Structure 1
Amino acid sequence: MDKLLQSVKKILQDKPLDPIQWFVLYQSWLGKTYGEMAEVSGYGNNYIKEVGSELWQDLSIALGERITKKNLHLALNKHLQDEIDNQKNQIQEKFGKESNLEMISPDFFSASKIEFPSGPVALNSPFYINRPSLEELVCNEVLQPGCLIRLKAPRKMGKSSLLNRMIAYAKEQDYQTVYLDFQEADRDIFVSLDKFLRWFCVNVSRQLNLLPCVDDFWDIEMGSKVSCKIYFEAYLLQYIDDNPVVLALNEVHRIFEYPNIAQDFLPMLRFWHEQAKQDRTWQKLRMVVVHTTEIYIPLKLNQSPFNVGITITLPPFTLKQVQSLALRYGLNWAGNSEGAKRLAPLQAMVGGHPYLVSLAFYHLCQEGMTLEVLLETASTPVGIYGQHLRELLTLLQKEPELMSAMEQVIATDEKVELNAIAAYKLESMGLVQLNGNQASAMCELYRLYFSQQFGKQNNANVYREFTS
């Protein structure tokens, strides 16, 4: 809120806010209605409305665009981002385009509204950490006719954020884009391959602004896969002009749970990719497959789409990237070698996991705790990761075989051989890192927390046996 006030002061310049105006601004930012403001302030509802109306008018004149209570967030965030872009341009002009902006201006992004880390990082967010080799590789590859790109990483590692940037880049090239998230599909969509492929075709049609006409191309005697291929080849890819279409498939690992579908759908994607080598129609189609783990359904090598095309695995943040993100959160103490030394234990604790690192910086920049206290309490129920850790524990408790596998991993400092399905499911959750089927805890945070939880569980079991 201090940053909000500072921004509004700059916008209004010689017209400072009085206390009641600041109150209305603050409450409006929090989404409160005028009636709610009147109730808690003791002022009349009409008076609060008049104050608000004057305030929005002053801001509209200062910014040169209409500001209302409803668009306040959007307008001020846009203004803040414009300020950041202007400062970035000035720095680039002064120091050259290759300058390390984070190190030149430690509080460069501190004016941005800091939101709780959740979901993909917005396209215009200053909190996205570029991994130049990855972004460049993905954007170059999507330009290749008939390409197949695979993005792989555990949950909350930044797959969707990278995917969204690739889609934005494709749109800049005037490509058409289709985005399907398999988590959105109802469970009954997966009852049969035929129903799934129909759902698939209808969704792609609608996103391309084409009328779905699946029945006109579906032939029971030819089978669902051939019908689907003909639908794409003779209908969708014919009616999208000459511009390529990027088909982005997110959360594809959900299909792994349905072998009857995966064993046909995944080879079908590979076949389409191979068709592009000899058929110009299929060269229009650029496919991006996003998933959390390796496939654990038996497929012949010549059928799997995961040994063709290009594979991109998202790595954890390096210490330098952690340091860069800290500066973007306004933690200026992180900008030198001493700051890097202070951040090293955090990186070790969370294994450079982007979401866990962002969550730490969000809490630190609120000035509610020190880094040392954050690390001391990290694996406890009262620490900042308490809810995240409880969610993971709940997921494990729903699948006893995964709970047992995780216990084996935590019980030793050595790598543990697990069966393939358990290993890949734990990797998908981000709990372990794999070398083949050999697993070890992804980071010290998980090792400490689950050691404590399994210890409590074992003690409770011993007590029950003793008292029974």
Structure 2
Amino acid sequence: MDSNLLNIFNKELTSQQQEWYKVLAEYIIHQAKNTPLTITELTTKLVGTRSMSEDTAKDFAESLISRGRTAKVSAATLTKELENNGLIEKGPVETDKNSARRFLDNLEKKKLITIDHCSGRSGNICTLNFYIYSGQTLEGVVPAQNPLYIKRNADSICEEYLTFGMMNNQSRAFLKIKSPRYTGKTSLLIRLREFAKKKDAAVGLIDLEGHQFSYELFIDGESNEENKEKYQQFLDTFKRVVEQEFNSHLNSYRPGFSSPKWGNISLAEKFTEDLEEKIFSPIQKPKVLLIDGIDIILGTHLQDPFLRILRTWCEQKMKRLKNSSSIIFPNIIIAFSTESYFDRESPLQNVGTEIELPKFTDDQILSLAGLYGLVWHDGSESASSLKHFLSGNPYLINMALYEISRKNIDLETFKQQKLFPNSRFLKHLRKIVEKIEKCKELEQTFCNWLQQQDSYLDEKSKIQLAKLGAIEFENENNMIQPKIPCQLYEQYFKQQFLNQNS
């Protein structure tokens, strides 16, 4: 971003104009991400208004659209947005759009935006040349319409699979989104939900870590009978939550569920039958079921039986076979962050499509830095340095850029201040450490492993630490090995667990 634009924004716009600009910017980014102009449409406009050759215009159009900062805006649209945000009063006076028109023209003169004038009354094409995010820091999930969400290749891949799976004559998609904790899985699920809804699909999003599921269900019982009872309660809860999610598509129909008796029909069979006949079958349109929070069942008595159910669905209920009837089951997408099968094969091995959710690249970090209004003259060098320090973790990168922009400090100063009192990073890391320290056996195991990270770490500890985000996994010579997520974590964990105990 041009630092001169930052000076213009701060010095040449009044405080009221700055607020107006923020509303305009949020609107453009929202529209660009949801109803973007096609490259063909924008190319045509550019050829007509800028006397460009078609090839040059197309290159320019691709550049603008890839930034996600281009959308149609009229003075009337801007006026409405300002009214909705309480920056001007609604009423007859505001039917005169001259103030909004003059404001847009003034921004163009100052080069804060570029306007491509179009014929008709739909609004001209406005491109932001300057933008600063002014909302609150992100503490977890990126809300659906938040401009800070950075699309990755995984977004498009999932959308393609869903689009294909929602066709009547095709097998359903079964996607397994896998990435370490705090890398944006839930944020992606939320966007896939919105994507499917726009395709007129019935969509349900189930969070196994949500309040509908009692945490007691995931604690291993003292006997097999107790575990069986908890398993049945878990499946019953799952059915009720699925019903709630798809309720608006069931009209007046209300499914009545009954629990099977042991020895008559298996819980898994009854569970599948109820969902198919009483929820999925009555809905005569494409369906999508998203399941978040899979991690909570890993390492528990629920792990194997529930994952086997998912495998059965994929193999027997979601495939389009020759001469078979229509498929009742929905497309299914699950999200998880940790491995749970290290010495044996997972029930989901070779089932469905695994989608790796990569961490941020240098270019994505630069793009996000631009949204925070940061000017890095060395560009990719700073982005690479921050990526290396935080391992490209989207959650940590967002926190870092927020602190750098709000405190107006450079990257090196941030690294020195990262664990100052009241730092968001310190609070984040303390939560992880406190959870580890609650289990003395886990704490001792972790301390031993920190001292020599190529040493053995038992399966139970791997799962527990990965769930907390303290470790993640990488494939080394076809062997899944645990590792500390980033430099920041390693520095803090060694300080807390090794230096204090030495």
Supply the AA of the counterpart residue of 2:461. Answer: A
**Cα distance in 1 between the residues matched to 2:484 and 2:383:** 21
C-alpha deviations, 1:343-396, integer Å up to 9, x for none? Answer: 332221111111111111111111343322111232555654111111111111
Aligned to 1:200: 238
User: After alignment, is 319-328 or 290-299 more displaced?
Assistant: 290-299
CA shift, 1:157, in A, is 0.6
**Cα distance in 1 between the residues matched to 2:159 and 2:311:** 21
Change (3 A) 1:327 1:206: same
Change (3 A) 1:80 1:437: closer
Q: TM-score normalised to the size of structure 2?
A: 0.69
C-alpha deviations, 1:244-275, integer Å up to 9, x for none? Answer: 2111110011112431x222211011111111
Contact 2:204 2:246 (C-alpha < 8 Å) held by counterparts = yes
Q: Does 1:346 align with 2:386?
A: yes
Aligned to 1:420: 459
Show structure 2 runs of 5+ residues with no match: 1-8, 47-56, 70-112, 114-126, 166-170, 219-228
Contact 2:208 2:291 (C-alpha < 8 Å) held by counterparts = yes
Tell me which of 244, 255, 279 is aligned to 1:213: 255
Supply the AA of the counterpart residue of 2:245. Answer: Q
Secondary structure at 1:154 match in 2: coil
**Cα distance in 1 between the residues matched to 2:266 and 2:30:** 54
**Cα distance in 1 between the residues matched to 2:421 and 2:19:** 43
Supply the AA of the counterpart residue of 1:375. Answer: K
Supply the AA of the counterpart residue of 1:123. Answer: A
**Cα distance in 2 between the residues matched to 1:416 and 1:137:** 37
CA shift, 1:127, in A, is 1.0
Secondary structure at 1:366 match in 2: helix
Secondary structure at 2:141 match in 1: coil
The percent identity for this pair of structures is 25
Tell me which of 133, 136, 151 is aligned to 1:115: 136
Q: Does 1:136 align with 2:181?
A: no
Tell me which of 22, 27, 33 is aligned to 1:82: 27
**Cα distance in 1 between the residues matched to 2:497 and 2:259:** 55
Change (3 A) 1:2 1:267: farther
Tell me which of 287, 291, 307 is aligned to 1:266: 307
Supply the AA of the counterpart residue of 1:236. Answer: I
**Cα distance in 2 between the residues matched to 1:457 and 1:367:** 31
CA shift, 1:456, in A, is 3.9
Instruction: Name whichever structure is richer in helix by fraction.
Output: 1
Contact 2:178 2:336 (C-alpha < 8 Å) held by counterparts = yes
Contact 2:450 2:494 (C-alpha < 8 Å) held by counterparts = yes
**Cα distance in 1 between the residues matched to 2:309 and 2:401:** 43
CA shift, 1:442, in A, is 1.4
CA shift, 1:8, in A, is 3.9
Supply the AA of the counterpart residue of 1:205. Answer: E
Tell me which of 99, 105, 114 is aligned to 2:63: 99
Query: What is the CA RMSD across the aligned residues, in angstroms?
Result: 3.3
Show structure 1 runs of 5+ residues with no match: 13-75, 460-468
Aligned to 1:155: 181
**Cα distance in 2 between the residues matched to 1:77 and 1:235:** 48
CA shift, 1:194, in A, is 1.4
Change (3 A) 1:162 1:103: closer
User: After alignment, is 280-289 or 112-121 more displaced?
Assistant: 280-289
Secondary structure at 2:136 match in 1: coil
Q: TM-score normalised to the size of structure 1?
A: 0.73
Aligned to 2:277: 234
Supply the AA of the counterpart residue of 1:138. Answer: C
Contact 1:175 1:246 (C-alpha < 8 Å) held by counterparts = yes
**Cα distance in 1 between the residues matched to 2:366 and 2:293:** 30
Aligned to 1:30: none
Supply the AA of the counterpart residue of 1:168. Answer: E
Aligned to 2:17: 9
C-alpha deviations, 1:392-420, integer Å up to 9, x for none? Answer: 111111223432343234324x5343222
**Cα distance in 1 between the residues matched to 2:380 and 2:68:** 12
CA shift, 1:126, in A, is 1.9
Change (3 A) 1:119 1:382: closer
| Count of residues paired in the alignment | 386
Secondary structure at 1:305 match in 2: coil
Contact 1:251 1:291 (C-alpha < 8 Å) held by counterparts = yes
Aligned to 1:175: 201
